């Protein structure tokens, strides 16, 4: 495992492999994956003062503010496993969050090393997301184009014959998620490009190739 400290932001669309690659970097180099959703859930579970505020916001049916999101991120970064770096997955999503993150890290004297955009065409993302299905019994994952059961209609792992698809993998829903991603992310690109942090990686490559390219752009190869 590498001991080289790196602080990285991953930008990537739904279905682009961002979460998978963040986990790979965590396992290979010890940089924890800081996923916004996971951090919010943990803060609520731990009943930290900020977690209680976030829970009250969610329970009231309101959106969690940039200030609250950056607050729980700041709390998470104080934990010992972040001393050697981290991979931010799902934040920043807005220019406000990006500016707040910059100020937070500047205050610690630990600026970002790179912002990596995993770029995948919308047409391929649509195919990836709308083609996913899983076994009802054991939750094994499959795909219409990339990974079908060895025997049609029979799960490779448990022999189950019932399968399900996620409701948010319907074409209209996927398109809405992609549109939202582009709306939120486009302003972040010039923000980080001006700071010479933005690096683009082709997310259509094989998984190992994507990981190797990400390691290259952050100076590990």
- The two tokens of residue 204 are 């259509």
Q: Choose among 26, 50, 31: nearest CA to 40.
A: 50
**17 is an annotated ligand-binding site residue:** yes
**64 is an annotated ligand-binding site residue:** yes
Q: How many CB atoms lie within 10 A of CB 119?
A: 14
Q: Is 199 noted as a catalytic residue in this protein?
A: no
Q: Is 93 noted as a catalytic residue in this protein?
A: yes
> Among residues 93, 119, 189, 193, which one is catalytic?
93
**153 is an annotated ligand-binding site residue:** no
Q: Is 166 noted as a catalytic residue in this protein?
A: yes
Q: Is 18 noted as a catalytic residue in this protein?
A: yes
**63 is an annotated ligand-binding site residue:** yes
Q: Is 189 noted as a catalytic residue in this protein?
A: no
CB of 21 within 8 A of CB of 35?
A: no
Residue written as token pair 């799960």: 155
DSSP 6: E
- Residue 189: phi and psi, rounded to 5, are -65, -50
> Among residues 28, 108, 166, 216, which one is catalytic?
166
> Among residues 23, 55, 119, 177, which one is catalytic?
177
Name the pairing type of β-strands 6-11 and 114-119. Answer: parallel
Beta bridge partners of 202: 119
> Among residues 23, 55, 119, 132, which one is catalytic?
132
Active site residues: 18, 93, 132, 166, 177
List residues forming the annotated binding site for ATP.
15-20, 132, 205
Q: Which residues are part of a known binding site?
A: 15-20, 36, 41, 62-64, 97, 132, 135, 138, 155, 158, 166, 177, 205
Q: Which residues are annotated as a binding site for Zn(2+)?
A: 135, 138, 155, 158
């Amino acid at each position: 495992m590498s001991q080289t400290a790196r602080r990285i932001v991953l930008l990537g669309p739904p279905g682009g492999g961002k979460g998978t690659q963040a986990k790979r970097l965590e396992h290979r180099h010890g940089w924890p994956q800081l996923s916004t959703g996971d951090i919010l859930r943990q803060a609520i579970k731990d009943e930290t003062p900020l977690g209680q505020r976030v829970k009250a916001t969610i329970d009231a049916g309101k959106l969690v503010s940039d200030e609250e999101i950056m607050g729980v991120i700041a709390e998470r970064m104080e934990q010992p496993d972040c001393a050697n770096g981290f991979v931010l997955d799902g934040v920043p999503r807005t220019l406000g969050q990006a500016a707040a993150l910059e100020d937070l890290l500047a205050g610690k004297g630990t600026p970002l090393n790179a912002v990596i955009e995993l770029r995948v065409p919308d047409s391929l993302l649509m195919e990836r997301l709308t083609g996913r299905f899983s076994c009802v019994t054991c939750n094994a994952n499959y795909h219409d184009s990339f990974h079908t059961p060895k025997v049609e209609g029979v799960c490779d792992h448990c022999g189950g014959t019932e399968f399900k698809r996620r409701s948010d993998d319907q074409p209209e829903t996927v398109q809405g998620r992609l549109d939202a991603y582009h709306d939120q992310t486009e302003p972040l690109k010039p923000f980080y490009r001006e700071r010479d942090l933005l690096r683009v990686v082709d997310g259509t490559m094989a998984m190992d190739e994507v990981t190797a390219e990400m390691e290259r752009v952050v100076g590990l190869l």
